[in-house]
Structure 1
Amino acid sequence: MHSVHERDKEEVVTLKVWESEKSMLHLPLYVAIKEGYFDEQGIKIQLLNRSNTATQDPYADNLADIILTDPVNCLYRKSVNPSAPLIIAVLAHRDGTFLLAREKENFTWEGLKDKNIICYPPETGPGLVMEKIIRDTGMVPMRDLCLYNRIPDELRLGVFKSGSGSYIQLTAAKAIMAEETGAGHIIARPGEKAGAFPSVLCTVQPEIINNHADAVQGFVNAIYKAQLWMQHEPDIVTGAVKIYLDELDKKTRNKIIQYYLKMGMWSPYPQVDVKTFNDITQLMKTSGQLAVPVTFKGTVNNIFASQAINTIKYIPKEEREKSWFKKIIG
């Protein structure tokens, strides 16, 4: 699902990237577009989501070349279809949800015993992260505590406000806005507790790798460069946020960015390591989310990420400015 144009007698591949919806978790992608990193790699990007396509399924008719997805959806699809897209890079390294209580408290995860949590279903990334934390703390979901994980998304906060649930797991934006309106208090961030558990993966159709490996490499190079520059120069996100996440007010955006940077959300490490992969697949198996076993070798292709790390090096701003000045004066 790519298009090729003539430019200076070179082929310019346009990769169609599905992101479902705009998300702060996708910030390296937006930075790479805004700063021209994809252009540097000789490729174009066309963003697809539910608002600009007729279908809701990016896997139908090979709608997209690259699909941004959470690990649960990715690994489940791989388990039922060996030819499903391969993981080529990690876009966001941590879960991005927040946990709210009705009142401020000295919260501990062990204190969840015998409590009720309004959370996400285990077949979603945030839901599986919550299950991981609960099990890592020595508890068993639905035995040591109750999880309300089947409440429709649009009703969850209303149910919490009405008095159900001791805690509620929300997206960062909804959590911050709920706190500002007095609906609760942010007491924990699952992504900090769970550690390495990627919330967004970049996956690619196998035929795109076969036919346009250079374009795929260019895509990963640009994503890695954005992550690298964001680590050293966090202010670089400002322009991209204004363009792609303008529906969020400035105060909320800034809070989320600061939280996420502190968590290492976009650390410049695009590879998927074996331990993280095995931890996720084992947890999915335990929670009944994996149809049949999947293998690291058959699911992950770290070649592009490794090449990006070896190729793209951060250049301090002052050195870039000196280089630019030298070009100007000849």
Structure 2
Amino acid sequence: MIKRNAMLLIALLVLFTSGLAGCAGGSGAKIRIGEVTRSVFYAPEYVALEKGFFKEEGLDVELQTTAGGDKTMTALLSGAIDVALVGAETSIYVYQQGAEDPVINFAQLTQTDGTFLVAREETGEFDWSKLNGSVFLGQRKGGMPQMAGEFTLKKHGIDPHADLELIQNIEFANIAAAFASGTGQYVQLFEPQASIFEREGKGHVVASFGTESGQLPYTVFMTKQSYMNKHKDAVQKFTNAIYKAQMWVGSHTPEETAKTIAPYFKDTDMDILTSSVKRYLEQGTYASTPALHEEAWNNLLDVMDSAGELKGRVEMAKVVNNDFAESAVKASSK
């Protein structure tokens, strides 16, 4: 009887410890990402997946597209995803609301706006004054594309709410289709949509908001403080993989990057993917390291303030943790 009870106790202990090990491993190994949209703008993310950089770090990463910054942040706050790839401004909005569990930016992916100004008609040499009195198909109020767009227009002496007809009531996912169907004379588009419209004769890229608005922590991987506290090792491994991908993209040709990310853009021709990657590389859109920089952060605050979306300037240290990025860079240099 004693032997039988002892065996039962051992069996229970094995089951218990196995369960703990499974929980511990699962909590760090599985990470669910929600990206705000599917775009060549996020090429290093897809490279990290396709080249197995996450797997090298022992991570099982699941990617889903949660269209729109508001939907992505809702998914993060509700626990539907673990990590969000979205504009850094969303973390500021959460902080401004006095969240007990703030959202922390830990790895920057892009460092400029990724949209281009697309004109319906080709009118020769472009001048920003041509937008005066035009119908402009804008983005969601409070989102980075719209704020960076307004910031650029103001820099060129254009009041977006007085000098042109600004349309902002169209869902992010439907903006390109709305323009293609005849709405607006100008629109902001990400790649590869901008290049696709050029090929199809539906529009012409006349300017880059990325070049015009300067460096910004435009798209960043972020997570809740509580998740970061519980899964520091997983967040570090995640950041390591992103940095490997950033270095890979920076050291390979646009053709090689386009070929690698092609599985994520099955309906897009290779030449369009290549030209899109090339365009982003040429204007320095992809961040070379995951670290966020103070000067770019202050530029972000200026952009948000200009758009009337900032209650008060938020110190970078309040919603940014660069420790993971710095560790990833340091480990790679050894």
Q: Using a 3 Å threshold, how does the CA distance of structure 1 residues 249 and 5 change in structure 2: closer, same or farther?
A: farther
State which drifts further: 11-20 or 101-110: 11-20
AA partner of residue 204 (structure 2): H
Residue in structure 1 matching 2:104, options 67, 76, 86: 86
AA partner of residue 226 (structure 1): A
AA partner of residue 202 (structure 1): F
Residues in 2 aligned to 1:22 and 1:158: alpha-carbon distance in whole angstroms: 15
> Structure 1 length as normaliser, TM-score?
0.81
By how many angstroms is 1:59 displaced?
2.6
The answer for the alignment partner of 1:61 in structure 2 is 78
The 8 Å contact of residues 118 and 206 in structure 2, kept in 1 or not, is answered as yes
Residue 116 (structure 2) pairs with residue 98 (structure 1): yes
By how many angstroms is 1:111 displaced?
4.4
Residue 79 (structure 2) pairs with residue 75 (structure 1): no
Residue 44 (structure 2) pairs with residue 25 (structure 1): no
The 8 Å contact of residues 137 and 167 in structure 2, kept in 1 or not, is answered as yes
The 8 Å contact of residues 39 and 191 in structure 2, kept in 1 or not, is answered as no
Residue in structure 2 matching 1:277, options 269, 293, 297: 297
> Secondary structure at the residue paired with 1:312?
helix
Q: Deviations over 1:52-88 (max 9, x none)?
A: xxx9731343222211111332321222143231001
Q: Using a 3 Å threshold, how does the CA distance of structure 1 residues 191 and 14 change in structure 2: closer, same or farther?
A: same
Residues in 2 aligned to 1:261 and 1:4: alpha-carbon distance in whole angstroms: 45
Structure 1 runs (4+) deviating above 4 angstroms are: 3-6, 9-12, 152-164
By how many angstroms is 1:150 displaced?
2.8
The answer for the alignment partner of 1:204 in structure 2 is 223
Residues in 1 aligned to 2:84 and 2:174: alpha-carbon distance in whole angstroms: 28
By how many angstroms is 1:173 displaced?
2.5
**Unpaired segments of 5 or more residues in structure 1?**
315-330
Q: Using a 3 Å threshold, how does the CA distance of structure 1 residues 88 and 172 change in structure 2: closer, same or farther?
A: same
Residues in 2 aligned to 1:92 and 1:297: alpha-carbon distance in whole angstroms: 19
By how many angstroms is 1:199 displaced?
2.9
The answer for the alignment partner of 2:275 in structure 1 is 255
The 8 Å contact of residues 4 and 11 in structure 1, kept in 2 or not, is answered as no
The answer for the alignment partner of 1:44 in structure 2 is 60
The answer for the alignment partner of 1:321 in structure 2 is none
Q: Using a 3 Å threshold, how does the CA distance of structure 1 residues 150 and 105 change in structure 2: closer, same or farther?
A: farther
Residues in 1 aligned to 2:43 and 2:248: alpha-carbon distance in whole angstroms: 12
The 8 Å contact of residues 228 and 267 in structure 1, kept in 2 or not, is answered as no
Residues in 2 aligned to 1:168 and 1:11: alpha-carbon distance in whole angstroms: 42
The answer for the alignment partner of 1:286 in structure 2 is 306
Q: Using a 3 Å threshold, how does the CA distance of structure 1 residues 216 and 114 change in structure 2: closer, same or farther?
A: same
**Unpaired segments of 5 or more residues in structure 2?**
1-18
The 8 Å contact of residues 105 and 187 in structure 1, kept in 2 or not, is answered as no
Residues in 1 aligned to 2:64 and 2:172: alpha-carbon distance in whole angstroms: 23
Q: Using a 3 Å threshold, how does the CA distance of structure 1 residues 186 and 11 change in structure 2: closer, same or farther?
A: closer
- CA-based RMSD of the aligned residues comes to 3.0
Alignment of 1:45-194 (within 5 A): 45-50=61-66, 57-82=74-99, 83-101=101-119, 102-153=121-172, 156=175, 160=179, 165-194=184-213
State which drifts further: 288-297 or 191-200: 288-297
Residues in 1 aligned to 2:233 and 2:51: alpha-carbon distance in whole angstroms: 20
Q: Using a 3 Å threshold, how does the CA distance of structure 1 residues 10 and 206 change in structure 2: closer, same or farther?
A: closer
Q: Deviations over 1:137-190 (max 9, x none)?
A: 244332344433334456655665676644222232322222222222221121
> Structure 2 length as normaliser, TM-score?
0.81
The 8 Å contact of residues 216 and 296 in structure 2, kept in 1 or not, is answered as yes
By how many angstroms is 1:27 displaced?
1.6
Q: Using a 3 Å threshold, how does the CA distance of structure 1 residues 284 and 252 change in structure 2: closer, same or farther?
A: same
Residues in 1 aligned to 2:83 and 2:280: alpha-carbon distance in whole angstroms: 24
Q: Deviations over 1:118-149 (max 9, x none)?
A: 22133111111111112222443323444333
The structure with the largest alpha-carbon Rg is 2
Identity of aligned residues (%): 27
Residues in 2 aligned to 1:31 and 1:305: alpha-carbon distance in whole angstroms: 18
AA partner of residue 132 (structure 1): F
